[in-house]
Amino acid sequence: MEKYELQKLRDLPIEGVAERLGLQVTRHKCLCPFHDDRHPSLSFKVSKNTFRCFVCGASGGTIDLVMKCLNKSFLEATRWLADENNVILQTSATTHHPSDIIHQPSFDASRYEKYFERPFLNDEARRFLFDERRLDPRVVRWCHLTSWKDRQGVPWLQIPYYNQEGQLVGVQNRNLIRGALPRFRFPQGSQCGIYNLPVLNLLKPGDALYITEGSSDCWAMLSAGHKAIAIPSATLLTRQDKEQLSTLNSQLSTEFHMYPDRDEPGERLFLQLQRVLPSLVHHQLPPGCKDFSDYFLTFYRH
Ligand SMILES: [Zn+2]
């Protein structure tokens, strides 16, 4: 793994990582998961992006926290962090740079555009999109979803990210083998921020725009007949994404809606977004549905 990629994982906000791990952070402190803790003794140092428990002495950075909490090896922990946060990891060492240079490659759209012009869905992709997720084929076409198999025969769903002008700015590959790691892969330099921006060109004054967490909830929302965009994940909402949303809020005469995931990070994300989109309307998922995809599937149950 390249040095700059490890640094990206080390730079993920540590309190956000802790929350993804299920710890409840209040005023830079939480109950220590590594000893029988009654009063929060684990504290976070935001300036250094580290944690330390002053009772049992556990300490470290983001990767250490994941290794300890989930009992994972260093490599497993980095993969978990990358998957949870859509961080791009280069799995092979095809590009070698002197280790002291922080190198950020740019995205070569011309290499990928052709795949999305003539989408092809293999059996695994059709099973995932239509049998498991019950998505509307028109949505799958609109999103230019396609599929491929790598040299090891692993099937991947290939998800293009476009800007509002319709230019390809990034690609997300989703592993179609359930439970397999890595769950996602991104070509070099992919900008996978806000998803489905071209839908904004179809918005009519007064239309509702739904905001989902992740592309797959976005497909479910579109299949349910709503106009929707997706943001990557609660911990990865960047300042750039927030600025873009804030601009949309001032440009569009649109009402923003959201069904937050039924968990702590979901609600926290809603509150974060509400600061940028003050009129954001909260919808409650019914009990037993953890996200909108889940809820969408209940439309098909008798
Ligand atoms: Zn402790």
Distance (angstroms) between ligand 1 centre and the Cα of 81 equals 22
Cα separation, 207 vs 113, whole angstroms: 30
- Which residue, among 226, 232, 142, has the nearest Cα to 195 in the 3D structure? 232
Distance (angstroms) between ligand 1 centre and the Cα of 30 equals 10
Cα separation, 191 vs 197, whole angstroms: 13
Helices (H), 100-238: 113-117, 123-126, 137-142, 215-223
Cα separation, 149 vs 154, whole angstroms: 5
| DSSP E strand stretches across 46-182 | 50-53, 59-60, 146-149, 155-162, 168-175
- Count how many Cα atoms sit within 13 Å of the Cα of residue 269 in the half-sphere of its side chain: 26
Q: Structure tokens of 152?
A: 């090891």
- Which residue, among 105, 84, 108, 111, has the nearest Cα to 22 in the 3D structure? 84
Distance (angstroms) between ligand 1 centre and the Cα of 43 equals 10
Q: Which helix (H) or strand (E) element contains residue 45?
A: strand 42-45
Distance (angstroms) between ligand 1 centre and the Cα of 284 equals 36
Query: What pLDDT does 99 receive?
Result: 40
Cα separation, 299 vs 263, whole angstroms: 22
Give the type of residue at 112: Y
Query: What pLDDT does 86 receive?
Result: 67
Query: What pLDDT does 98 receive?
Result: 40
Cα separation, 123 vs 134, whole angstroms: 15
Q: CB neighbours (10 Å) of residue 199? A: 21
Distance (angstroms) between ligand 1 centre and the Cα of 52 equals 8
Residue listed under structure tokens 């994404």? 241
Residue-by-residue DSSP string for 218-237? HHHHHHTT-EEEEES-GGG-
Query: What pLDDT does 88 receive?
Result: 63
Distance (angstroms) between ligand 1 centre and the Cα of 34 equals 5
Distance (angstroms) between ligand 1 centre and the Cα of 188 equals 39
- Which residue, among 170, 165, 125, has the nearest Cα to 145 in the 3D structure? 125
Distance (angstroms) between ligand 1 centre and the Cα of 280 equals 39
Q: CB neighbours (10 Å) of residue 198? A: 16
Distance (angstroms) between ligand 1 centre and the Cα of 29 equals 12
Distance (angstroms) between ligand 1 centre and the Cα of 68 equals 11
Distance (angstroms) between ligand 1 centre and the Cα of 25 equals 14
Low-confidence ranges of the chain (pLDDT < 50): 91-103
Q: Hey, is 96 helix, strand or coil? A: coil
What is the pTM for the complete model shown?
0.69
Our measurement of the distance from residue 53's CA atom to the centroid of its chain's CA atoms, rounded to an integer in Å, reads 29
Alpha-carbon separation of residue 78 from 97, 110, 156, 204, 237 (angstroms): 20, 30, 21, 43, 19
Distance (angstroms) between ligand 1 centre and the Cα of 144 equals 48
Distance (angstroms) between ligand 1 centre and the Cα of 184 equals 33
Distance (angstroms) between ligand 1 centre and the Cα of 8 equals 26
Distance (angstroms) between ligand 1 centre and the Cα of 80 equals 23
Distance (angstroms) between ligand 1 centre and the Cα of 65 equals 12
Distance (angstroms) between ligand 1 centre and the Cα of 17 equals 17
Cα separation, 204 vs 183, whole angstroms: 36
- Which residue, among 176, 153, 190, 166, has the nearest Cα to 116 in the 3D structure? 166
Distance (angstroms) between ligand 1 centre and the Cα of 242 equals 35
Query: What pLDDT does 103 receive?
Result: 46
